[in-house]
């Protein structure tokens, strides 16, 4: 098969300590989307861009790579690298992808990105061809290998299963989605809006992972607080418990709001091409499993809050009861002393 020109797009996405807001990016698509689509999905902002030249690489010719530094408000940073390929099916394209991702991470860290929770994704976009995208299926093993970032030869059933997660809109276009990457075939070169939706799906996955990680940390912290408090008297452990309860209340309130907004934004996209593509990406990224996991941790926080509130209330009641006994005992001593001195005084 002759060489197939195209583009390789790689990205790294994660939280940043400081993500300055740039100019809003407008994506125009030839494909359908609801009129309110641009209003409800998170906006991307272009912070900066830079170019780097890479020498001849493992048989691939010297290239100029364009890096875009973008962000989702308020603190999600995206480093996107774009390079033109003379042949998207050439050997060592995966090696080039790894090299681009490594450079993306360097820029990400330089921009004060946090590496604790990140997403990385790669896309190959093929345009300016005549006929249907099925003509490229003679290289289906290469397509599946890229989508799975796998250099080993894949089984035919695995290749077929990988290529099955796809969507067509026009007669001669096709998008194939997997966990690590996507292949876009579009003779009109309408790539930008599709890549934006794939980035949005990665953004959604990143938010789920950040939320899940945050819950996990909070649960461990609260468990540690209660474990330490049980080893102390209530008078010393009570302050820590009250602070932990306050934290649980705050986490439940803010996180529940954030969690509900994720689901709301998805439902507002509607039943259009954009929604079907996004839903397919969401199924591949296992959004439903992430939502279930987050709900379970929310419920765990609620259980901890209920148990802790009950114990805290009972402990406070015990302290009040002990306080009354101490006070009663004190008054009794004072009364006996008064009676004694009164009796002494009358003699």
Residues with Cβ within 8 Å of 337's Cβ and at least 6 positions away in sequence, in order, are none
Query: What pLDDT is recorded for position 236?
Result: 45
- 234 in the same domain as 181: no
Question: What is the count of structural domains for the chain?
Answer: 2
Q: How far apart (Å, rounded) are the C-alpha atoms in residues 301 and 158?
A: 40
pTM assigned to the model: 0.80
Q: Do residues 164 and 34 both lie within one domain?
A: yes
pLDDT, residue 166, reads: 94
Q: Which residues pair with 2 in a beta bridge?
A: none
**Is 184 part of a structural domain of the chain?**
yes
Contact call for residues 83 and 124 (beta carbons, < 8 A): no
Both 32 and 164 in one domain: the answer is yes
Q: What is the pLDDT along the chain (347 residues), one digit of tens a residue?
A: 688 999 999 999 999 987 677 788 876 665 665 555 566 677 889 999 999 887 776 666 677 899 999 999 888 999 999 999 989 998 889 989 999 999 999 999 999 999 888 999 999 999 999 999 999 999 999 999 999 988 888 999 999 999 999 999 888 999 999 999 999 999 998 898 899 889 989 998 998 898 888 878 877 777 777 666 666 554 444 556 666 666 666 666 666 666 666 556 555 555 577 778 888 998 999 988 988 888 888 777 767 766 665 655 545 555 455 555 555 555 556 666 555 555 555 55
Q: Are residues 180 and 117 in the same domain?
A: yes
Residues 68 and 205 in one domain: no
- Do residue 211 and residue 320 come from a single domain? yes
Give domain status of residue 76, yes or no. yes
Sheet of strand 174-177, all strands in order from the earlier edge strand to the far edge: 23-24, 44-54, 63-72, 76-85, 6-16, 113-126, 181-185, 174-177, 166-167
User: Are both 145 and 46 inside the same structural domain?
Assistant: yes
Together in a domain, 108 and 17: yes
- Residues with Cβ within 8 Å of 227's Cβ and at least 6 positions away in sequence, in order, are none
Q: Are both 221 and 118 inside the same structural domain? A: no
Residues contacting residue 10 through CB under 8 Å, at least 6 positions apart? 80, 81, 97, 100, 101, 104, 120, 121, 122, 123
128 shares its domain with 68: yes
Same-domain status, 258 and 170: no
Q: Would you say residue 195 lies in a domain?
A: no
CB atoms within 10 A of CB 33: 19
- Last residue within a domain, chosen from 146, 166, 188: 188
Residue 248 sits in the same domain as residue 141: no
Please say which residue of 154, 188, 222 terminates a domain.
188
């Amino acid at each position: 098969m002759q060489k197939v020109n195209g583009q390789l797009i790689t990205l790294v996405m994660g939280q940043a300590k400081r993500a300055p807001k740039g100019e809003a990016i407008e994506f125009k698509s030839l494909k359908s989307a609801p009129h309110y689509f641009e209003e409800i999905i998170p906006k991307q902002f272009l912070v900066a861009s830079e170019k780097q030249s890479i020498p001849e690489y493992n048989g691939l010719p010297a290239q100029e790579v364009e890096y875009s530094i973008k962000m989702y408000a308020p603190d999600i940073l995206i480093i996107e690298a774009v390079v033109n390929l003379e042949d998207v099916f050439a050997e060592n394209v995966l090696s080039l992808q790894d090299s681009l991702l490594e450079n993306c991470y360097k820029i990400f860290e330089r921009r004060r990105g946090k590496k604790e929770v990140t997403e990385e994704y790669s896309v190959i976009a093929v345009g300016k061809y005549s006929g249907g995208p099925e003509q490229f299926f003679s290289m289906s093993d290469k397509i599946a290998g890229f989508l799975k970032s796998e250099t080993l030869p894949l089984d035919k059933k695995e290749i077929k299963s990988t290529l099955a997660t796809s969507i067509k809109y026009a007669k001669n276009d096709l998008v194939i989605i997997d966990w690590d990457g996507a292949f876009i075939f579009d003779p009109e070169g309408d790539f930008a809006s599709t890549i934006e939706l794939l980035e949005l799906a990665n953004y959604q996955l990143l938010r789920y992972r950040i939320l899940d990680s945050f819950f996990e940390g909070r649960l461990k912290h609260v468990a540690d607080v209660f474990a330490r408090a049980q080893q102390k008297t209530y008078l010393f452990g009570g302050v820590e418990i009250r602070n932990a309860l306050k934290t649980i209340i705050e986490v439940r309130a803010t996180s529940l709001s954030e969690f509900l907004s994720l689901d709301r934004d998805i439902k507002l996209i509607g039943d259009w091409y954009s929604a079907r593509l996004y839903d397919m990406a969401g199924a591949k990224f296992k959004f439903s499993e992430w939502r279930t996991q987050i709900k379970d941790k929310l419920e765990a926080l609620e259980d901890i809050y209920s148990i802790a509130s009950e114990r805290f209330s009972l402990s406070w009641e015990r302290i009040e009861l002990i306080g009354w006994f101490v006070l009663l005992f004190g008054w009794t001593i004072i009364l006996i002393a008064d009676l004694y001195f009164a009796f002494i005084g009358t003699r």
